[in-house]
């Protein structure tokens, strides 16, 4: 057995435990939020106490949002079709993934977000976007750079681009990047499944995924999804 198998198993095992950890943290967090609200009510004219309780309550609510959104997207489920706003889904996944995305020196730069509805499995489409974001961040690991997200209308749908400032797609690998298990990275936990999974899930929603090298360097992942009206 090689090290890659061991690290893949480790990730799978800890992934199974994530929901339990989130549940435990959420239980304790509800106590923090509840007593912060009581402090606010009991503070009377003590402005410093009210301000302190407000800060604790705000921090608790932000932690709760991270756990709630993370749990929503990580939970195994049977695919379902729903109509939702990409403008809500993208900030949700960035909320809990921001730290990991920026750990290798990547700077997130959301430029614009689609304002209309799309249809598909919200968690699956979120997973596809996460795979593309991490692919871009990993390409810049160690050197850093801007990870830009942009959106616009095209051909009756939404076109969302995720651009990085990494080395781009190696010559001759333009189609190989969609093959299961193909990766140019050497770390044992890089499974080469991100892009194939993203392409498959987006196709399930009636969309497409295209990767290309940018003229200024780096790689641009372009997602197209059919629109279902605007808000």
- Cα angle for residues 74, 199, 167 (degrees, 5° grid): 100
pTM for this entry:
0.83
* Under 8 Å between Cβ of 76 and 122: no
Question: What are the pLDDT digits (tens) for 36-79?
Answer: 998 888 888 889 888 998 999 999 999 999 998 988 888 888 88
Question: What are the pLDDT digits (tens) for 209-226?
Answer: 999 999 888 999 999 999
Q: How far apart are CA 97 and CA 134, in angstroms?
A: 9
CB-CB neighbours of 170 under 10 Å: 11
Question: What are the pLDDT digits (tens) for 168-198?
Answer: 988 887 777 777 766 766 665 566 788 888 9
- Residue 12 CB-density burial (10 A; 0-12 exposed, 13-18 middle, 19+ buried): exposed
The predicted structure's pLDDT at residue 189:
54
* Under 8 Å between Cβ of 166 and 211: no
Question: What are the pLDDT digits (tens) for 68-93?
Answer: 898 888 888 888 999 999 999 999 99
* Under 8 Å between Cβ of 146 and 133: no
């Amino acid at each position: 057995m090689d090290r890659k198998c061991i690290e893949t198993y480790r990730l799978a095992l800890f992934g199974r435990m994530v929901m339990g950890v989130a549940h435990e943290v959420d239980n304790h967090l509800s106590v923090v939020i509840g007593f912060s609200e009581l402090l606010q009510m009991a503070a009377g004219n003590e402005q410093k106490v009210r301000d302190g309780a407000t800060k604790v309550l705000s921090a608790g609510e932000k932690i709760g949002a991270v756990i709630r959104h993370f749990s929503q997207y990580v939970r195994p489920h049977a695919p379902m079709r729903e109509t939702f706003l990409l403008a809500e889904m993208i900030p949700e996944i960035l909320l809990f993934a921001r730290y990991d995305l920026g750990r290798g020196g990547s700077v997130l730069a959301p430029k614009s977000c689609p304002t209309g509805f799309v249809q598909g499995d919200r968690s699956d489409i979120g997973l596809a976007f996460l795979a593309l974001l991490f692919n871009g961040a990993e390409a810049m690991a160690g050197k850093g750079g801007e990870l830009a997200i942009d959106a616009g209308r095209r051909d009756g749908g939404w076109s969302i681009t995720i651009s990085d400032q990494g080395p781009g797609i190696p010559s001759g690998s333009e189609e190989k990047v969609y093959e299961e298990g193909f990766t140019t990275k050497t770390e044992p936990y890089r499974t080469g499944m991100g892009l194939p999974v993203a392409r498959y899930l987006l196709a399930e929603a009636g969309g497409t995924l295209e990767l290309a090298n940018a003229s200024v360097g780096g790689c641009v992942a372009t997602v197209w999804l059919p629109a279902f009206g605007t808000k």
